[in-house]
Amino acid sequence: MTLRAIDAVVWLGALRGAATAATAAGATLEGAAEAVIDEVCVASGWSVGRLLHLINGEVEPTAVWRTVDADRFRPLSAVGATTGVDPAAGGLAPAWTADLAGAGAVGAAAAAAGLRSAVTFPVMDGGGIVALVEFLSDQLDRPDEAVLDVASAVVGQLGSVADRLRSVAAEVDARHLADLSHDAFIAVDHRGVIVHWNPEAETMFGWSSAETIGRPLSEVAVPARQRQAFADVVGRLMTGERAPVGRQELTALHRSGAEFPVEVTVWAVGRNGSGRICGFVRDLSERRRIEGQLASQVVHDRLTGLPNRALLGDRIAHTLARAAGRVGAVALLVADVDRFKVVNESLGHEGGDRLLVAVAERLTAMVHPGGTLARMGGDEFALLCEDVGTGEEAAGIAARMVEAFEKPFRVYDADMSVTASVGVAVVDHERLSAELLLRNAEVAMYRAKDRGRDRHEMFDESMLAHASERLSVENDLRRGISQGQLRLYYQPIVHIDSGVIAGFEALVRWQHPLRGLLPPLEFIPAAEETDLIVPLGRYVLQEACRQAASWQTTHPAEVLRVSVNVSARQLAQPGWSDEVAQILADSGLGPRQLVLEITESVLMDDTDATALRLEELRRLGVRIAIDDFGTGYSSLGYLRRLPVDILKIDKSFIDGVADGPHESALARAVVKLASTLRLEAVAEGITTRKQLLQLRRLRCPYGQGYFFSRPQPTAALPALLDLPALEGADPGE
């Protein structure tokens, strides 16, 4: 029987029977295919029918085949397709092979079984070709389009079965994966009614599965304003439109009525009345919280939690915009912790951070509503105040900010005393940018530092020139140190009773190429605010030790000492005592001939750390002097604890020492204290013979000042050393 001779009525009957059989046997694709092949082979009289799977683009035989003579056709069950359907090339139409003799190895196997022609139909689901159904005949036939159409309709039923089975499997797999995951899994039918609601959905939305199954999802989990859009999405998915499928960020509704952000991944399973929409739902609340924290960190200081410089600049700009045309002024105060670098180097970075947190907490307590306190970076804070009535009011706020530092801060269970320098810039009716207002406040703050720290200064235009000059000094000084422009001058320290020189204090000068010889006050403050004080101090110590060692050669009978001022930054440098030891070794100077002078304020920064560093220097044999004694906050307890050898009495106590008992009382007390503690006392700033005589009566052993000699360059020292004693002279003598 030829395929051409098959009556169309017979084929239509086969089609109906195949469709019915496929539906009934549709638990698997193989079962449905077996029913279809049986129906077609019976109706058509074809000799063989078989199913071939398509796996990774390769055609593989299956156990599903039908034949009237199993033994005859069994070898054919193990070979691939005989015809030219090319799944990889996307071939979708049935393919005839009119003569199997020319169909290669597969055709040869078929021909050996007495088969002469074949037709192969692709089985397609929604995702493409998944299998092939092939029928073979022992008759040689030519293609018949009518037969192809009918057969394609029959095999097409298998495609529908495969599509349905794949969709069901996908939904089952999705449910299984969802139950194992931390995401909610929800499935709704074509009407948007919930058909699946996993345990994670129960936790996320606050509804149990029993409460949700059979209810519209829009009523349970979709905010009212989004329900129409949800219905539209369901409709489009059910009609096969793919656009809405994918990952989206939406707003979901909790049972409590609270809304929360979610990420939804949805896809359609089936179409129209039998379709489902499945979706994974992930709660984004924690992600949003973390994103919010990260966004906050961009504009907030991580250590103190205060707004940072970027956020402050934005708030200044907005405040200035609001203030335009209004009565009242805007004030910006910038506070810098004085000598914080020394604290940081003494306590370490963690200790410095703790101090900054304590400062931030104290300053926050004084911020009025509407004000903004920010950390600018490092040890610098800023306070933005809106609607400040006058400049005097802003000055009052600055004064309170300075006063806030009077009480010690608690760091590592110990009290830490620090001060602050505050600059104030006020803008009233003039238009000013945030950058300029901030610049003006910082300029005023640096002026406060230049004028002694622990104070506030109001900005005025003249400060800009000063700031520019200060920057110029810093740049010139950096070059000056590297180019050897520093010079040392020496002021004699004498025995007050005899006038014999006991040693010299080394004092640095700067031979500026344009401005001439500059005294310390012209450049030391700038050096102390930068790292320049460290190389500058190193040069002074090296040169002073080298010069003092030369005195041993030129005046071997005299034991002369040299005193060198030490900055807080130097003392706090790790390994600085080792550096001192190396400089002594390189110069050949004996340790007992070196005196290191340290101010009281340096000693007060961190007495424990300072004591350790001074002990290291004492072990070298170096002597320690407290410079400007009486101007700080030293107590008898500190003097007992610290390894100190010399007290240098500040000039302010010496100025009035000859004016009467009351005026000389402080100098007398210091001399007595030094004697009691077995320390040497040196009176600084002696300018008159009366002062000298009174200091002799007070039994002060050493003194220095203009009365004996002004600081002298190195070339003038041999002449001084050759004198048996310095007689001294009052000004004008």
CATH number at 389 reads: 3.30.70.270
Residue 478: its H or E element: helix 462-482
- Residue 292 tokens read as 């919010």
Please indicate, yes or no, if residue 728 is contained in any of the structural domains.
Answer: no
Residue-wise pLDDT for 496-549, tens only, equals 999 999 999 999 999 999 989 999 988 888 888 777 889 999 999 999 999 999
CA distance 387 to 397: 13
Closest CA to 625 of 540, 717, 503, 528: 503
Residues 321, 224, single domain; the answer is no
Residues 211, 357, single domain; the answer is no
CATH of the domain at 528: 3.20.20.450
Domain that holds residue 375: 300-456
CATH of the domain at 251: 3.30.450.20
Which pLDDT value is given to residue 632?
Answer: 57
CA atoms within 13 A on the CB side of 731: 8
Residues 546, 674, single domain; the answer is yes
Closest CA to 423 of 478, 476, 466, 389: 466
Determine contact, residues 320/377, Cβ cutoff 8 Å: no
Determine contact, residues 46/136, Cβ cutoff 8 Å: yes
Which pLDDT value is given to residue 239?
Answer: 65
Determine contact, residues 704/627, Cβ cutoff 8 Å: no
Helices 533-554 and 576-587 cross at an angle (nearest 10°) of: 30
Residues 485, 439, single domain; the answer is no
Please indicate, yes or no, if residue 464 is contained in any of the structural domains.
Answer: no
| Boundary-marking domain end, from 409, 425, 456 | 456
CA distance 106 to 115: 11
φ and ψ at residue 334, rounded to 5 degrees: -115, 125
CA distance 126 to 181: 27
Residue 281: its H or E element: strand 276-283
Please indicate, yes or no, if residue 68 is contained in any of the structural domains.
Answer: yes
Please indicate, yes or no, if residue 36 is contained in any of the structural domains.
Answer: yes
Residue 23: its H or E element: helix 8-24
Residues 514, 603, single domain; the answer is yes
CATH of the domain at 136: 3.30.450.40
CA distance 91 to 170: 26
Residues 250, 309, single domain; the answer is no
Q: How many domains does the chain have?
A: 4
CA distances from 404 to 176, 401, 414, 421 (A): 64, 5, 18, 12
- Beta-sheet pairing, 702-703 with 680-683: parallel
- Interior/surface letters 85-111, b for 16+ CB within 10 angstroms, e for the rest: bebeeeeeebbbbeebeebeebbebbb
Residues 190, 305, single domain; the answer is no
pTM: 0.50
Residues 578, 484, single domain; the answer is yes
CA distance 464 to 15: 98
Which pLDDT value is given to residue 82?
Answer: 57
| Boundary-marking domain end, from 402, 429, 456 | 456
CA distances from 705 to 133, 597, 649 (A): 117, 16, 12
CA distance 595 to 621: 10
Please indicate, yes or no, if residue 702 is contained in any of the structural domains.
Answer: yes
- Beta-sheet pairing, 486-495 with 712-713: antiparallel
φ and ψ at residue 296, rounded to 5 degrees: -65, -40
CA distance 501 to 490: 12
- Residue 481 tokens read as 């140190």
Residues 452, 531, single domain; the answer is no
CA distance 501 to 499: 6
- Residue 575 tokens read as 């390994």
Which pLDDT value is given to residue 391?
Answer: 78
Low-confidence ranges of the chain (pLDDT < 50): 1-10, 12, 14, 16, 23-26, 87-90, 169, 172-174, 180, 242-245, 732
- Cα angle vertex 33, ends 31, 35, to 5°? 75
Please indicate, yes or no, if residue 343 is contained in any of the structural domains.
Answer: yes
CA distance 602 to 605: 6
Please indicate, yes or no, if residue 487 is contained in any of the structural domains.
Answer: yes
* 3-state class (DSSP) for residue 588: coil
Residues 434, 308, single domain; the answer is yes
Determine contact, residues 518/531, Cβ cutoff 8 Å: no
Residues 663, 586, single domain; the answer is yes
Closest CA to 520 of 545, 492, 487: 487
DSSP notation for 194-262? EEEE-HHHHHHHS--HHHHTTSBHHHHHS-GGGHHHHHHHHHHHHTT--TT-EEEEEEEE-TTS-EEEE
| Boundary-marking domain end, from 288, 323, 346 | 288
Please indicate, yes or no, if residue 467 is contained in any of the structural domains.
Answer: no
Closest CA to 95 of 107, 83, 86: 83
CA distance 400 to 419: 12
Per the DSSP assignment, residues forming a β-bridge with 128 are: 125
Question: Exposed, middle or buried: residue 302 (CB in 10 Å: 0-12, 13-18, 19+)?
Answer: exposed
Residues 282, 218, single domain; the answer is yes
Closest CA to 572 of 344, 341, 345: 345
φ and ψ at residue 429, rounded to 5 degrees: -95, -20
Which pLDDT value is given to residue 146?
Answer: 58
